[in-house]
Structure 1
Amino acid sequence: MDLFNTERRVVETAEALAGRLGDDPHHTVAAAAMDTAGRIHTAVNVYHFTGGPCAELAVLAAAATADAGPLITIAAAGDRGRGLIPPCGRCRQVLLDLHPDVLVAVPTPTGPQVRPIRALLPDTYFFPDADARRLVRFNKRHYDAIASGRKTVTIRYDDPIAVGAALFVFEDDAEHRTLEGTVTGVEPHRLDRLTPEHARLQPGTTMTELRESLMSYYPEMPPTAEIHVVTFSLDPGAALPSVT
């Protein structure tokens, strides 16, 4: 996925810190991570023959020290001009267990991209006692509709969402608004067999419009893809008193 401005800030912060590391052989990688309030936390690795922590693990500790809560984006960069680097296997497992909805910045031939942590560690072991806070991302244009209770359904492709409590976050939102809510249901359907009843279409919306919208958001989604109809609600007191 291409980077939003907020995600680009995380990458730039990691790269800037890496550029200041100098020639110290004990600190060769910098990491930056953004929390749901828009704060960026930073840390560097501690290289040691006994197995010092990677920068990604160090920044998790720094964020926890600042009571950051769940993290939404993380990036690491190497010293001496190496630029953005992907996390090692151990860091991927830790991120998946502690921040299962974080997006990780990785280098590609066309520039930085972000990937869901689960995409960097497929078919992996899940630590059953991690009990991580879950996030559900929405486009920022949906904030008012969700906050007012008008929007209670979203359709997702290749985006696992679990039933239960979640923090709703809004992508690239300058105000870093969040809403406390609950995912109440996740129903699998085949896209080509999806009906207005399955999709819980609002009056005035057609299936053609829905499919075109989904294809614009998921351009690589095949016509027979399995999608998930996700229903959700806001926790009492989370909604705005009035939204115009």
Structure 2
Amino acid sequence: MVAIKLSESGRRVVVAAERLAATLGNDPNHTVAAAAMDTAGRIHEAVNVYHFTGGPCAELVALGVAATAGAGPLVTIAAAGDRGRGLIPPCGRCRQALLDLHPDVQVAVPTDDGPAMRPIRKLLPDTYFFPDADARRIVRFDKHDYEAVATARKTSTVRHDETIGPGPAIFFFEDDEAHRTLDGTVTGVESRRLDDGSTVDQLTFTVEAPE
């Protein structure tokens, strides 16, 4: 399964979730903490609400907290358990909600080599898609790409194993504290099959001039 090395912003989200989880003590009603980052770099924190009727997981509460703050699309999310359990992966219900509402979010999961990020689509393959979610899409770039994208010197990018179709999107520049995002439009997607049988997509795009 595809794993993505933690960026600095990803590390901040993991640390925030684990720090909040460490404050939960022995309260049986609140046993998991979650932290999620939006495209502006703000981190939204929440805890679960355990109840026998099916209280919400920490990740779902975090989605509500972020929405209340007007966060828009989320780029990274992590959850951690109380009493030193550390980073924990999301349950199936949370995976489905994340995929439908934030289809480009990366999720922190524990691995033998420490925390890693996985695209939410990789955590829930062959899934049902909720057609009315109307989620705003995110195209990720390295922070060093900002000037080339902003000045239209770079108008295409090659993506492996991603499913981003034509339409408006937020262009998110990982760990770029100065700029963070640009509004843009994916104008075309051309799929190409490689010699090893895998496929890559070449996205062409335009961006709105930064203010």
The TM tier, using the shorter chain, reads over 0.9
1:65-113 CA deviation, whole Å, 9 max, x = no partner? 0000000000000000000000000000000000000000000011000
Of 140, 147, 150 in structure 1, the residue corresponding to residue 153 of structure 2 is 150
The alignment status of 1:18 with 2:3, answered yes or no, reads: no
Amino acid at match of 1:127: F
Q: Which residue number in structure 1 is paired with residue 133 of structure 2?
A: 130
Q: Which has the greater radius of gyration? A: 1
User: Where in structure 2 are there 5+ consecutive unaligned residues?
Assistant: none
Cα distance in 2, alignment partners of residues 141 and 181 from structure 1: 17
Amino acid at match of 1:32: A
Cα distance in 2, alignment partners of residues 155 and 42 from structure 1: 33
Q: CA deviation at 1:176?
A: 4.8
Q: Which residue number in structure 1 is paired with residue 143 of structure 2?
A: 140
Q: CA deviation at 1:190?
A: 2.3
Q: Which residue number in structure 1 is paired with residue 206 of structure 2?
A: 233
Of 165, 168, 171 in structure 2, the residue corresponding to residue 168 of structure 1 is 171
Q: Which residue number in structure 2 is paired with residue 75 of structure 1?
A: 78
Of 85, 96, 99 in structure 2, the residue corresponding to residue 96 of structure 1 is 99
Q: Verify the 8 A CA contact 2:182 2:210 in the aligned structure 1.
A: no
Calculate percent identity across the aligned residue pairs.
70
What secondary structure, in the 3-state scheme, does the structure 2 residue paired with 1:48 have? coil
Count of matched residue pairs: 208
More helix by share: 1
Cα distance in 2, alignment partners of residues 17 and 176 from structure 1: 28
Of 108, 113, 123 in structure 2, the residue corresponding to residue 110 of structure 1 is 113
User: Where in structure 1 are there 5+ consecutive unaligned residues?
Assistant: 193-221
Q: CA deviation at 1:174?
A: 2.1
Cα distance in 2, alignment partners of residues 147 and 57 from structure 1: 34
Q: RMSD in angstroms over aligned alpha carbons?
A: 1.1
Q: CA deviation at 1:177?
A: 1.8
What secondary structure, in the 3-state scheme, does the structure 2 residue paired with 1:62 have? helix
Q: Which residue number in structure 2 is paired with residue 46 of structure 1?
A: 49
More strand by share: 2
Q: CA deviation at 1:172?
A: 1.6
What secondary structure, in the 3-state scheme, does the structure 2 residue paired with 1:74 have? strand
Off by >3 Å, runs of 4+ in structure 1:
none
Q: Which residue number in structure 2 is paired with residue 200 of structure 1?
A: none
Cα distance in 1, alignment partners of residues 210 and 29 from structure 2: 49
Q: Verify the 8 A CA contact 2:46 2:65 in the aligned structure 1.
A: yes
Q: CA deviation at 1:175?
A: 2.4
Cα distance in 2, alignment partners of residues 135 and 153 from structure 1: 15
Amino acid at match of 2:209: A
TM, length-normalised to structure 1: 0.83
Q: CA deviation at 1:191?
A: 3.3
Q: Verify the 8 A CA contact 2:41 2:180 in the aligned structure 1.
A: no
1:115-138 CA deviation, whole Å, 9 max, x = no partner? 000000000000000000100001
The alignment status of 1:5 with 2:32, answered yes or no, reads: no
Cα distance in 1, alignment partners of residues 41 and 15 from structure 2: 14
1:12-58 CA deviation, whole Å, 9 max, x = no partner? 00000000000100000000000000000000000010111000000
Q: Which residue number in structure 1 is paired with residue 185 of structure 2?
A: 182
